[in-house]
Amino acid sequence: MSRPGRNSNVHKYTQSLRVALGTACAVILLLTLAVLTLIVLVLQPKERPEDTTTITSATDSEFKLQLKRYMCSSLSHSGTDDAPNCKICPNDWELHRNTCYWISQEQKTWTESQDDCKGKNSTLLVIWDQQEMAIIKNLTKETSYWLGLKTARLSEEWTWEWVDGSPSRKNCE
């Protein structure tokens, strides 16, 4: 004959095991589904733009303008105006003291060089002071370069002036 208390303990123990086993199976099933979902997400090919060489449909100059607005406005204290002395130069140009310099590797005449500069929306070299002259000497090293000086006639006499229209100074002071 069996004792009634012992039978109910075995029944409770078996029922507890079934609940624990069911819970464990449910957790394992959920973890398996989560892992499978992560695998699918990680292995799924990412969408890429068709042409990665262009930035949206903006041209190079539009991109540089947007970049300048972003970079310079972040440096500005007011947030609306450009920061003082903030400039972005085109590719292959050198920035010194808020001026962009381009050193040609080709040998051209003064007129050809002037035309080349105009094509780049620039001018031949205009030197404002000794500090700029030192920058030019450092940039050009031992190469030759054209200055943006030209002769101009003022009434009866000839004088030198810079290609930007400013008068030349005898010495850069």
Q: What residues does each domain of the chain span?
A: 7-46, 58-88, 89-173
Under CATH, which number does the domain 89-173 receive? 3.10.100.10
Phi and psi of 168, rounded to 5°? -80, 150
DSSP state of 167: B
Strand, helix or coil at 101?
Answer: strand
Average pLDDT over residues 134-156: 81
Secondary element (H or E) of residue 161: strand 157-162
pTM beyond 0.85: no
Tokens of 91: 């590719």
- 30 confidence band (pLDDT: 50, 70, 90): very high
Instruction: Identify the pLDDT of residue 24.
Output: 92
Tokens of 87: 């400039």
Between β-strands 157-162 and 149-154, what pairing exists: parallel, antiparallel or unpaired? antiparallel
More confident residue, 69 or 93: 93
